A = this chain, B = another copy of it.
């Protein structure tokens, strides 16, 4: 089973990386960019019987820093080759 975990900074937490990207986009001449936030995207291949609790636990214990980050778990439908 493919699982996609999106980890993003909580609102209000300063994001210097996002600010640098924003600045660079303006420097390249892209107008109309108002805000940029940079997070992480973690794609996991896990056994089909992995429970939602286990996935939640992985995020809380390792993948996200719960003090400053939020996470979102999406299970992806199997694509080619799924019977």
Interface of A toward B, CB cutoff 8 Å: 6-8, 18, 21, 24-25, 28, 30-47, 49-50, 54, 57-58, 61-63
B58 pairs with A32, CB closer than 8 A: no
- State how many angstroms separate the Cβ of A58 from the closest Cβ of chain B: 6
- Taken together, the copies of this chain in the complex come to 2
Q: Which of B7, B33, B37, B62 contacts A24 (CB 8 A)?
A: B62
- State how many angstroms separate the Cβ of A82 from the closest Cβ of chain B: 15
Q: Which of B30, B42, B61 contacts A36 (CB 8 A)?
A: B42
Chain B residues whose CB sits within 8 angstroms of the CB of A45 once the complex forms: 33-36
Which of A39, A47, A57 counts the most chain B CB atoms within 10 A? Answer: A39
